[in-house]
Amino acid sequence: MILGAFLATLNQTIMSVATPELMVDFNISAATAQWLTTGYLLVNGILIPITAYFMQRFTTRQLFLASMVIFLAGTIVSAEATTFPVLLTGRMIQAAGAGIIMPLLTNVIFTIYPPNKRGAAMGMVGFAIIFAPAIGPTLAGYILENYEWELMFYGMIPFTLLVIIFGFIYLKNVSEQVITKMDIISVILSTIGFGTLLYGFSRAGSEGWSSSEVLVSIAVGVSALGLFTRRQLTSQNPLLDLRAFKYNMFSLTAIINIAVTMVMYADMMLLPLYLQSARGYTALESGLLLLPGALVMGFLMPITGRLFDRYGAKWLSIIGLIITIITTIGFIDLTDSTSYTYLVLMSTGRRIGMALMLMPIQTAGLNQLPSSLTAHGTAISNTIRQVAGAVGTSLLVTVMTNRTETHFKEMMSTGGNMASQKHMITEATIQGINDAYVVIIGIGLIGLILSFFIKRVGQISEEDSGAKIQKVMIKET
């Protein structure tokens, strides 16, 4: 299951490096090519909230094998694509399978491991979901420099087949099947809400926050999610049980996770942009810069998990965020001559900080939930990460774009000629990226302050959970 999650997560990140080549091959604009990422994100965001129902309705084997077969089908369609619409269709089919895998894997971990051993298990899961995006750009850059882009998809087919075969032979059912009727109205509201909200935030990065398309999408998304929330809180069998937020540590770590996810997206988006657009490095060189941090992170994640089992999440989160913030400060004064070695060291430092906090924060919140809410808590946690990733990306792109324009106008007002304009644009872009890193530091500080309130709590028993939910329902009534 971890290998399946690794493939799904790796697949999510390889497209960003391939975008320039795909624009040439299919003769499309950057805005059109961006749909390969946006469409993937939308399908993921729509499916994840529904996985709580899937995990109750179907067995572990049925759901995992079905998700991997769907992922395989999308991979084959993408590999054989000769037109952009076919490639986009393949990517969205892949997303339909990948969106189920991560919540399912987390739920299985919380089912088969007792609370005092979940940290080590989640450390291995963290290795998959963090290591894969880090090596994705490096792997994609190497393939694009030496082979055709189709190899990125052909290369995944044998590994996906192996996962399906091993899953069929060895995977056991670990969850109890609960036959319930799907709430179609909730599915519709969830699809409209998360779909339009993620679309709006994704488009804000390129269209700007004042765009009517962005504003209408976000307004529709917020309205639909308001109706969705009301329905979940009043339903006897909610599609996504939001009563998980009644548990204080789950709610606190969910908020910290929003900040941490936004901070994490800095390296994944801003640094490659700086290296390739402002400094002229190749996609492979850009990807290689992230590789040392990925290797260190992969080594640390299982260790961090065992430390969490022993000491809890509080100080791991605090130390991790302090390291991340300090190393991020090293990115607020980038120039056109900042050394590659310096960037590798600072980026690796950020990865060390993130390795210490990512899984402990998520596990600490889920550990408090009773078993009956684990599937719903997992789906909620993954949904929050999707939305935070979309919001963080669009926010950083907006800050960078607006500040770049401001810096360029300031440079032009001091007197510039046509010969120096190209240099001014590069300089303004670098300063805009520096300003975006300042915003990231601010978000990280919010997460750091909240981390001091993390407490080590035990799992709530089903009896206590039932009594608590009954009191909540009486209060609401």
Q: Is 373 left (phi over 0), alpha (psi -120 to 50) or beta?
A: alpha
Domain membership flag for residue 374: yes
234 and 313 assigned to the same domain? no
380 and 276 assigned to the same domain? yes
Domain membership flag for residue 187: no
Residue 38, CB-side half-sphere exposure with 13 Å CA sphere: 20
23 and 149 assigned to the same domain? yes
81 and 222 assigned to the same domain? no
pLDDT (0 to 100) of residue 73? 95
Domain membership flag for residue 90: yes
Rounded CA separation 467/106 (Å): 26
pLDDT (0 to 100) of residue 461? 63
pLDDT (0 to 100) of residue 60? 87
* pLDDT lower than 70: segments of the chain: 16-17, 29-31, 34, 134, 177, 205-206, 266-267, 415-419, 459-477
DSSP at 49: G
Rounded CA separation 135/127 (Å): 12
Domain membership flag for residue 207: yes
| Cβ contact 51:95 at 8 Å | no
Q: Is 312 left (phi over 0), alpha (psi -120 to 50) or beta?
A: left
212 and 156 assigned to the same domain? no
Q: How far is CA 321 from CA 103, 179, 329, 347, 413, in A?
A: 25, 43, 12, 14, 40
CATH number of the domain residue 125 falls in: 1.20.1250.20
Secondary structure (DSSP) of 238-256: -SS-GGGGGSHHHHHHHHH
Domain range for 198 is: 192-238
Domain boundary among 238, 270, 305: 238
**Count of CB atoms situated within 10 Å of the CB of 177:** 13
| Cβ contact 263:320 at 8 Å | no
75 and 158 assigned to the same domain? yes
177 and 326 assigned to the same domain? no
**pLDDT tens by residue, 229-287:** 898 888 877 888 888 888 989 999 999 999 998 888 766 778 877 887 788 887 778 77
Domain membership flag for residue 101: yes
287 and 433 assigned to the same domain? yes
Provide the domain count of the chain. Answer: 3
**Segments of 18-100 assigned E as strands:** none
Domain membership flag for residue 390: yes
325 and 408 assigned to the same domain? yes
Domain membership flag for residue 432: yes
Q: How far is CA 149 from CA 32, 35, 282, in A?
A: 17, 17, 16
pLDDT (0 to 100) of residue 40? 78
Q: At what angle do helices 84-112 and 2-13 cross, to 10 degrees?
A: 150
Domain membership flag for residue 284: yes
287 and 415 assigned to the same domain? yes
406 and 448 assigned to the same domain? yes
41 and 144 assigned to the same domain? yes
What is the chain's alpha carbon radius of gyration, rounded to the nearest angstrom? 22
